[in-house]
Structure 1
Amino acid sequence: MTTDTLSGKIVTILGGSGFVGRHLAQELLARGARLRIASRHPKKAYAIKPLGNLGQVQFAGVDVTKAETLAPVLAGSDAVINLIGAFAGNLDALQGNGAGEIAAAAKAAGATAFVHVSAIGADAGSAVAYARTKAEGETAVLAAFPSATIVRPSLMFGSDDNFVNMFGELISRLPALPVFAPQARLQPVFVDDVAVAIANALGNVAAQGKTFELAGPEIITMLDLNQRIAKAQGRSRTFVELPDAVSGLIAATTGWLPGAPISSDQLKLLQAGSVASDSAAGLAELGVTPRPLGLFLDRWMVRFRKHGRFGTKTASA
């Protein structure tokens, strides 16, 4: 299957109702693919339907922790993309060995291409269950579907993300904010660049059986990210850099509470950073030139400025 022949092909996206799924669906629909969006709550993906032509999008319910639900939603698929991941719950079933069961089911269904979305920082030796099961999932996928392509995105940003917008909301409301792991190194990547890379991987025989780390064009720190967001809002804010010991204490004592600022595992992942390896293949090998956060931030932060669109970027509040 090449990029030119995605038109008319059935591409099933598991976990397609989330942030990445919405952007990936738009890219694949533009290429003429017929999409089957499968997730535990398919209604959450209904906003995708108007992006396609009549009959181009189908929705299906699936619970990947129950292997018997996989075969019906994967039947007839020419290609399968696995976006399923989580920070809590039965991580082995969701993104560890469970990912291998998904790949095996895709193989049995006759799919000729499989893209598994993992994460930078996947590490089989990690004490953090998220990173460990991500790595175990990669191994399980390749064992079941040797020609699968593994992509490891860095932290993804977009106009509708839950990361940059979360900080944008906090910065717009609070005069001073604590910064956990202020010197943690991040290499944020635009979600639409990731979507193009995944779509390109489906039609790239040279990408089969390989792993790609998808990261943006610049490395920034957590403190720098917060400062950039404040500047884009035209706000003067005080950022308190929390020492690791203080951050660890806060995470340990409050991380288990609903709405806690950060859990112990999240803090460990943040401290480890999210930067691509110098030796890893990346977006360039999948035909994508990454776009920086700065290209979009001023526009996206307009709604958080004082007086919104009627305010000015230089106004302080």
Structure 2
Amino acid sequence: HVGAGLGDRARCAAAGVNRLVQVSAIGANPESESDYARTKAEAEMAVREVKPDAVIVRPSVVFGPGDDFLNRFAKLAQMAPVLPLIGGGQTKFQPVYVGDLAEGVARAAERAEAGGQTYELGGPAVMTFEDVLKLVARETYRTPGFVPLPFFVAKAIGALAQITAIVGIPPVLTEDQVTLLQSDNVVADGAQGLAALGIEPTGIEAVAANYLWRYRRGGQFAEAAAA
């Protein structure tokens, strides 16, 4: 998140770019045990050093047709009779629609008052990890079991799963993802969010059914067949 990307941003600043918007993530923290969260924070600091009036946009988990969030769990629900409730499934998320995120970035780039500000973008609902898995199950017409999985067990599984990356197969879970799951991923109290940018957040259930039907037995005709 830092490296070559910072060079690009430095060149933007040198070229006189009026507004630089850095898309980071909720939970960015230079002291985090998670590589992902720590490097996101380092990138934020590096960008602000180059361009102090840069806007930082921190989304929660992002959902939409091509996401690696609901789609990932839907694929898992297709294959597995049970879904793991990592850490008991009580980690909180505030999923934000990709269209709202894109509009937020655009408005942050256009508005003079956004310069130097940090925005945390989340949707209208706070959901637990268990809530998310149950939403996926409902929208895909699946009836998996749900099994609590302690964090330490999930980390061990993540370490083993990362071995698949050696042969070019993306791991279904990594140790760092488990570390991230040990902290809630929601908009902080008092943080500027979508409302500060004049955006009404889109609910996850209003969008999820539009693309999760692909994982139903029978696809888009599953509901008609059931009737």
Cα RMSD, aligned residues only? 1.8
Q: Which has the higher contact order (CA 8 A, sep 6+)?
A: 2
Matched, 1:250 2:161: no
The letter of the residue matching 2:148 is E
CA contact (8 A) 2:151 2:178 kept: no
Q: Answer yes or no: is 1:212 the counterpart of 2:119.
A: yes
**Matching of residue 198 in structure 1 with residue 109 in structure 2:** no
Distance 1:131 1:198 in 2: 20
Cα drift, residue 245 of structure 1: 2.6
Aligned residue in 2 for 1:170: 76
Q: 1:265 to 1:156 in 2, by over 3 A?
A: same
State the distance in 2 between where 1:108 and 1:221 align: 43
Asked whether the equivalents of residues 113 and 202 of structure 1 are also in contact (C-alpha less than 8 Å), the reply is yes
1:68-113 CA distance string (max 9 Å, x none)? xxxxxxxxxxxxxxxxx4xxxxxx415xxx53x3332111111111
- SS of the aligned residue for 1:138 comes to helix
Q: Aligned-pair distance for 1:131?
A: 1.3
Separation of aligned partners in 2, 1:313 and 1:189: 30
- Residue 25 of structure 2 contacts residue 59 of structure 2 at CA under 8 Å; is this kept in 1? yes
Q: Between Structure 1 and Structure 2, whose CA radius of gyration is higher?
A: 1
Displacement after TM superposition at 1:298 (Å): 2.2
Aligned partners of 2:180, 2:108: CA distance in 1, in Å?
A: 27
The DSSP-based 3-state class of the residue aligned with 2:123 is coil
Output the amino acid matched with 2:125: E
In 2, Cα distance between equivalents of 1:314 and 1:209: 54
- Please give the TM-score of this superposition, normalised by the length of structure 1: 0.66
Given that 1:233 and 1:313 are in contact with CA atoms closer than 8 Å, whether structure 2 keeps it comes out as no
Any unmatched runs of 5+ in structure 1? 1-84, 86-91
Counterparts of 1:153 and 1:247 in 2: how far apart (Å)? Answer: 25
2:201 to 290, 296, 306: 290
Aligned to 1:238: 145
Higher relative helix content: 2
Q: Percent identity?
A: 39
Q: How much has 1:254 moved relative to structure 2?
A: 3.5
Matched, 1:271 2:150: no
User: What is the letter of the counterpart of residue 194 of structure 2?
Assistant: L
Q: Separation in 2 of the partners of 1:256 and 1:135?
A: 27
- Which is worse superposed, 178-187 or 276-285? 178-187
Find runs of 4+ consecutive structure 1 residues off by over 4 angstroms. Answer: none
Aligned residues: 221
Alignment of 1:1-317 (within 5 A): 85=1, 92-94=2-4, 98-99=5-6, 101-181=7-87, 182-258=89-165, 259-312=170-223, 315=226
Q: Note the residue ranges of structure 2 that are not aligned, 5 or more in a row.
A: none
Structure 1 Cα separation of the partners of residues 172 and 215 of structure 2: 21
Q: CA deviation at 1:241?
A: 1.7
Give the Cα–Cα distance (whole angstroms) in 2 for the partners of residues 254 and 304 of structure 1: 23
2:64 and 2:97 in contact (8 A); partners too:
yes
In 1, Cα distance between equivalents of 2:116 and 2:143:
48
How far does residue 300 in structure 1 lie from its aligned partner after superposition? 1.8
